[in-house]
Structure 1
Amino acid sequence: MRSKRVSAATAAVTAGILAIFGTPASAQPVATAKPTGIYTGMGNCPLSSPVLADPGNQQVGCVISVTRGGSVTIGSTTVPLTQPITLQFGVYWPASGPTVEFPDGTVANVFSTVPSADGRTLTSSPLQVPIPGLANFLPGVTSAFAQVELAGPITEFVPLATGEPAPVFRLPIKLHLFNALFGLHCYIGSNANPIVLGPTTGTTSPPPPNGPITGDAGVIDLASDPNGFGAFVVSFSGASLVDNSVRVPAANGCGIGGSLDWVINTVFGLPAAAGRNTVVFSQTNTALAVDPSLDDLKQAIAASAH
């Protein structure tokens, strides 16, 4: 009887893993030219977006950002970020666009964003999450897999908020939990009630019991287009973005009809008020290509492609 139970659990875990990672493709996509050099990773920039083509824009651009380390702490549970998280999107700033003034008197543009051309603005791989108080002898049953998913548009993008006590952007996410018992629609947060991150490279001012923590802007570099176009790229290498003022809402959709929501909420202490949670994005490399002309930016990126 015990072997049948283990087999059933293994089958459930396998089904869950297939749901996370997908089944093997029958054919590989045809390779296409990709941007290189200072534009590496910007192949999905939404350069055909009508919003970017608005003649009222003074600046348009493309962003690629990859985080390779850090952690998410909810209450007393910390999950290391052991898999890359990639953000890619377009940006624009009109002539009458918003700005922000920092405490030191400097002013920076606040960009609006456009989702990635392929719809994958945020991509990540599942992370294994221990269940507090439970020995993890069968991953996917005695632990859960969590995948970070976008829960709305990225807003208030301020790339020059480096080292300032202000968010670089507002990033709404939800955590998709996979477990043999939770089903395929178990989340912490939702599109209607997301976890909204406001990470900074400066020093935070969280509510108690959390205390201030400080990020790192990393190494900043500026590169002109190598082929003579008007675009330039600002890069931030090895940055650390932190937020310990984030609120984490309750679970939803876990188990049949949400019957196991209470288990997730009890185990992780949800909903968790601001000041009890911390998100750290470390080893973050970001590149922002900016140009006053969309056509010029298109040509610059195309000229780099191989």
Structure 2
Amino acid sequence: MRPFRTPYPAGGTRHRPGRRSLARWRRGVTAAMVAVLATAAAALPAQAAAPGGIYTGLDGCPVNSAVMKDPTHLQVGCMTSTTNGGSMTIGSHVVPITSPIRLQFGVYWDASAPVVDFPSGTTANVYRTVPPSKGQTLTSKPIEVDIPGIGNIIPGVTSVYADVELAGPITEFVPLAAGEPHPAFVMPIKLHLYNALFGLKCYIGSDRAPIVLRPTTGTTSPPPPAGPISGDPGVIGIEADPNGHETIVASFTDASLVDNSLAVPRANGCGLLGTLDPLINLVFGLPSAAGHNAVVFSDTDVSLAISPSLADLTSALAASS
């Protein structure tokens, strides 16, 4: 039998560090780690505190955007909104909105001073939008959608998860169209569908052929067979800057925006080489013409900060942090 060999030299002894030397070693390692972490932290850029008070939620305002810095703008600002309920109807199929949908972006009123005239005889500014400085313009969680005609036994297999994504920039932002039949904004979207069989690129709508939403807090005038439905601007408030800046904040609490004039295009990219597109089109009745679909954004809270000066807006946000 081959003898067992110790890893130590014959007649040698194994060195065991004493408790004191081991403790000193541990303290030295700990001190070195602390020094390294402190150096790394010092090298990181300082994070500015998020705006608070009447500016809460506007931390994504793109005040450093080159578009916002154009000195010819008559007004600049930033907006955030959260929709907590509602639904989307495609033909006879109703999909409830079960998780919050958030929008955030910057705005500017350009030198041409565009406005919209309302039937009531009043006018409102039409703003252009700028993507936020951090995060996405639209964020939401996927919504589970039952497949028509199939019992939902296994979520994600006998149902579909739909995620709302932008299919282009938000345009024609008219926040003071409150209660008027004019859209508050125009927003192209597409629905990203997730299912065990659909693959990763299954959509209803696309960047080239989006679902275009024109929601209003007033009363709609849809094509037949749909009839008019009404939104609600909610509780409207105007607050002046508490530190003396020219910036003001308009808020809309518990508002409801509606649109039943939208068309819903065909599915695309579902299954291998789009082989499941016809099946999705069949079960959801796609394409679905205008007058057969609707969207309702209920329990919506909006905060809009507006200033005649980008420097003033920037200072107001910083002072509230």
Give the TM-score taking structure 2 as reference length.
Answer: 0.85
Amino acid at match of 1:121: T
The Cα of 1:227 is off from its aligned counterpart by: 1.1
Amino acid at match of 1:173: I
Q: Which residue of 2 aligns with 1:20?
A: none
Distance 2:132 2:168 in 1: 13
Deviation beyond 3 Å, 4+ runs, structure 1: none
- Equivalent of residue 55 in structure 2, options 39, 42, 67: 39
Q: Which residue of 2 aligns with 1:291?
A: 307
1:247 correspondence with 2:263: yes
Structure 2 residue runs without a partner (length 5+): 1-45
Q: Which residue of 1 aligns with 2:67?
A: 51
Percent identity over paired residues? 65
Q: Which residue of 2 aligns with 1:266?
A: 282
- Equivalent of residue 275 in structure 1, options 285, 291, 295: 291
Distance 2:278 2:147 in 1: 14
The Cα of 1:263 is off from its aligned counterpart by: 0.8
- Equivalent of residue 226 in structure 2, options 195, 210, 225: 210
1:238 correspondence with 2:259: no
* Structure richer in strand, relative to its length: 1
Q: Which residue of 2 aligns with 1:113?
A: 129
Amino acid at match of 1:235: S
- Equivalent of residue 65 in structure 1, options 81, 96, 102: 81
Matches within 5 A, 1:1-306: 33-305=49-321
The Cα of 1:265 is off from its aligned counterpart by: 0.4
Partner SS state of residue 196, structure 1 = strand
The Cα of 1:268 is off from its aligned counterpart by: 0.4
The Cα of 1:119 is off from its aligned counterpart by: 5.0
Partner SS state of residue 175, structure 2 = coil
The Cα of 1:269 is off from its aligned counterpart by: 0.4
Amino acid at match of 1:274: A
Distance 2:261 2:300 in 1: 20
Structure 1 residue runs without a partner (length 5+): 1-29
Distance 2:272 2:133 in 1: 35
Output one character per residue of 1:138-180: Cα deviation in whole Å (capped at 9) or x when no partner. 0000000000001100000000100001100001100000000
Amino acid at match of 1:270: L
Distance 1:256 1:32 in 2: 47
May I ask how many residue pairs the two structures share in their alignment? 276
